[in-house]
Chains A and B, each alone.
Chain A
């Protein structure tokens, strides 16, 4: 990653908000879909909004409402939804070298989603230490509020919205792969990392298309890591 420290012209939280704006293209359509499906599954508008506010994890929420609506045992619902989120265990440790000892980081970990992790992992090393808390707060809070607002919109008027503007669901979500792409492409600065990144991405595509979307991210990431360790001492592709 580019670790050149940047100076910020404005307040750090404003830069965080600005950097997180591309996330909205992915968050809002998915949140609208969740709001719609949740209400159709029998949850009230308020319950739906509370689910998004406090669980705040896309795949888990969809699984939660689907399993709850199908009458699955609740202990199984809890275990399955937490298992889906198990990949998050590596996010905090990866960011921790860039965060100071401020206690405000603790509640902010609620906002550490896949997308915020990807964004923070690329941006925090580039920011001066004193700007990181404000930057992360701006980015994470915008993403959280957009998720809640999108959910509310979907729960209240999702059916009509997606019927009238189907492109909301079809076009805007492309912002997510585009975002991940610009976050990961600077890492491809040598053959070893290029191969590692390529294998992770291709494996994820194959797993998702094969019907395993929930294990695609951890398994694809592990396959890339295995390749990295297998090749790192090979002189042709090595880092040095």
Chain B
């Protein structure tokens, strides 16, 4: 890489870090000023809504399989159902995810690609 490329890399690295850091510091100071006991209660409502909706959106984007064929979508559906089924029983994180991945993988392996 030449000097200009290194400069671009450093700029992106610093910029990305600041995008993550500065809003946090701003909110921390804002909450400290208000000095409320319940920090969540004094946050702007729109911000508390955007947190869960961001996670839901990440779920949506990650749900789209790399190969958008019938088998992949079927495996995705079964994987999520299995994850949900195990989660309703265990209310934990690790086991539902593991079972979901295994179910997804078994279907991807067992169903022939010719179904596509």
Contacts and interface: CB of A to CB of B under 8 A. Distances in A.
**Chains A and B bind each other:** yes
A218 B68 CA distance: 23
Contact of A22 (B4, B79, B93): B93
Given A96-B27, A178-B83, A228-B49, A170 B108 contact: yes
A34 to B, nearest CB: 14
A191 interface: no
Contact of B101 (A1, A172, A203): A172
B114 interface: no
A91 B53 contact: no
Contacts of A220: 53, 56-57, 60-61
Chain A CB within 10 Å — which of B21, B43, B98 has the most? B21
Contact of B97 (A22, A112, A193): A22
Interface string B21-40: 11111111001100000111
A174 B26 CA distance: 35
A112 B21 CA distance: 9
Contacts of B5: 68, 74
A177 B63 contact: yes
Size category, A interface: 35 or more
Interface residues of B, number: 69
Contacts of B47: 90, 93-94
Contacts of B96: 178, 182
Contacts of A182: 83, 87, 93, 96-97
B26 to A, nearest CB: 7
Chain B CB within 10 Å — which of A177, A202, A209, A217 has the most? A177
A157 interface: no
Given A78-B12, A85-B19, A216-B57, A109 B24 contact: yes
Given A170-B66, A196-B52, 7 more contacts: A90-B50, A97-B43, A117-B55, A170-B67, A181-B80, A181-B87, A204-B63
13 contacts: A74-B4, A85-B19, A93-B47, A97-B31, A106-B25, A110-B17, A114-B54, A118-B55, A171-B109, A174-B101, A182-B83, A183-B55, A184-B52
Interface of B: 1, 4-5, 7-13, 15-17, 19-28, 31-32, 38-40, 43, 46-64, 66-68, 75-76, 79-80, 83-84, 87, 93-94, 96-98, 100-101, 104-105, 108-109
A-B pairs, top 5 by smallest CB distance, nearest first, are A92-B24, A204-B60, A97-B39, A93-B27, A180-B59
